[in-house]
Amino acid sequence: MLVLGLESSCDETAAAVVEDGTRALSDVVASQVDMHARFGGVVPELASRAHVANIIPVVEEALDRAGVGLDDLGAVAVTQGPGLIGALLVSVQVGKGIAYGRGLPLVGVHHLEGHLSAVYLEPDPPPLPHLALVVSGGHTSLIRVDDHGRLVELGATRDDAAGEAFDKVAKLLGLGYPGGVMIDRLAKSGDPTAVGFPRAMTKKETGYEFSFSGLKTAVLVHVQQHGIPEGQGLADLCASFQDTVVEVLVRKTRQAARDHGLAHVQMCGGVAANSRLRSQMSAAGAEDGFRVHVPPPRRCTDNAAMIAAAGFYRLRRGAHSNLSLAADSALPLPAAIG
């Protein structure tokens, strides 16, 4: 079955056609990064307006590239939430329009369930159950994926998400938006041991919870005391910050894999594109005996193929939405479990 996926929860307008939840026939993303960059972050009203302008051409391109028409589709999947409400509304309304116009089933998808489903588009996806580390701009969670849509959140961040920490630190260092990619790039030539930042929530009793706001403040204090370094110093600072985030993410993930006896770990969300996180997690897996599955970087960040894949599995479980489907900026994860 072909599912058209639509995603507009933040600053990417995306549409994709996915076959049977496993094969992306097309995957189109119109990024608004350049527009928001000069404001140092996403401006919600501008995002909504750009989604309105982009969504129809993006859908048309997704159908064209897949070589299919609306009549070939079996269903429409849209991100229902969480995200920016004005942004979410755009693909929810367009999805409803297409579903109504063509008499197709419509399914609302939780954005995180989408990220978790990106890995099923890879040739060798992890078996179920497995452990998932979701690390994006809005979320940092360890989730036990017992089955499609049967998700148990083991722990999450108490404050900032990992991606948020990358973005805020990048802004502080004058590296522009979005910051994760810039820090990743600069850190490659830096010394991760140059600056000793505190690793929060590493005591056993903190379980699988994370905290990154203290680290952000530690970087701020460092910059207030020493100024923003240039050249090698900047690379060292980026590498030290990045390594602190990565070390905590890896430490908690390997603990959870051990505690739950899971031999497969997937990482998803924008920060899963981070080169240091990818290499350190693989090294930990090799040592502890778990296999690491990560989608390619473009499927770690927001896209619609992951939404179409998640939608396919939701439909297969008998879950579907009707035309009263409402975008929900704070949609809780359990509500997405059909």
| 117 belongs to the binding site for Zn ion (CB under 5 A) | no
Binding partner selected for residue 311 from Zn ion, ligand KG4, none, CB under the kind-specific 5 to 8 Å limit: none
Q: How far is the CB of 267 from Zn ion (least distance, A)?
A: 13
Answer for which of 5, 21, 82, 163 binds ligand KG4 (CB under 6 A) is 163
In whole angstroms, give the CA distance from residue 226 to residue 322: 57
Q: How far is the CB of 69 from ligand KG4 (least distance, A)?
A: 29
Answer for which of 302, 306, 312, 314 binds ligand KG4 (CB under 6 A) is 302
| 114 belongs to the binding site for ligand KG4 (CB under 6 A) | no
| 3 belongs to the binding site for ligand KG4 (CB under 6 A) | no
> What x/- string results for residues 244 through 283 when contact with Zn ion is judged by CB under 5 A?
----------------------------------------
Q: Closest Cα partner for 9 from 335, 330, 261?
A: 330
- Neighbouring C-beta atoms of residue 102, cutoff 10 Å: 13
In whole angstroms, give the CA distance from residue 309 to residue 315: 10
Among the residue ranges 121-129, 131-139, 241-249, 282-290, the one whose residues contact Zn ion (CB under 5 A): 131-139
SS (H, E, C) 250-276: HHHHHHHHHHCCCCEEEEECHHHHCHH
Among the residue ranges 60-68, 133-141, 218-226, 232-240, the one whose residues contact ligand KG4 (CB under 6 A): 133-141
Return the axis-axis angle of helices 162-172 and 213-226, rounded to nearest 10°.
10
Strands 12-19 and 23-31, by their bridges, are: antiparallel
Among the residue ranges 54-62, 70-78, 163-171, 258-266, the one whose residues contact ligand KG4 (CB under 6 A): 163-171
| 210 belongs to the binding site for ligand KG4 (CB under 6 A) | no
Q: Closest Cα partner for 218 from 232, 198, 202?
A: 198
In whole angstroms, give the CA distance from residue 51 to residue 30: 9
Q: Which is nearer to ligand KG4, 99 or 184 (CB)?
A: 184
Q: Cβ distance 194 to 243 under 8 Å?
A: no
In whole angstroms, give the CA distance from residue 89 to residue 52: 10
Q: How far is the CB of 78 from Zn ion (least distance, A)?
A: 14
Q: How far is the CB of 12 from Zn ion (least distance, A)?
A: 9
| 184 belongs to the binding site for ligand KG4 (CB under 6 A) | yes
Answer for which of 91, 240, 266, 301 binds ligand KG4 (CB under 6 A) is 301
Q: Closest Cα partner for 62 from 49, 76, 50, 48?
A: 76
Site residue total, Zn ion (CB under 5 A): 2
Q: How far is the CB of 199 from Zn ion (least distance, A)?
A: 25
Answer for which of 170, 302, 305, 336 binds Zn ion (CB under 5 A) is 302
Return the axis-axis angle of helices 231-259 and 213-226, rounded to nearest 10°.
160
| 136 belongs to the binding site for Zn ion (CB under 5 A) | yes
Strands 264-268 and 130-135, by their bridges, are: parallel
**Binding residues vs ligand KG4 (CB under 6 A):** 10, 136-138, 163, 166-167, 178-181, 184, 269-271, 273-274, 301-302
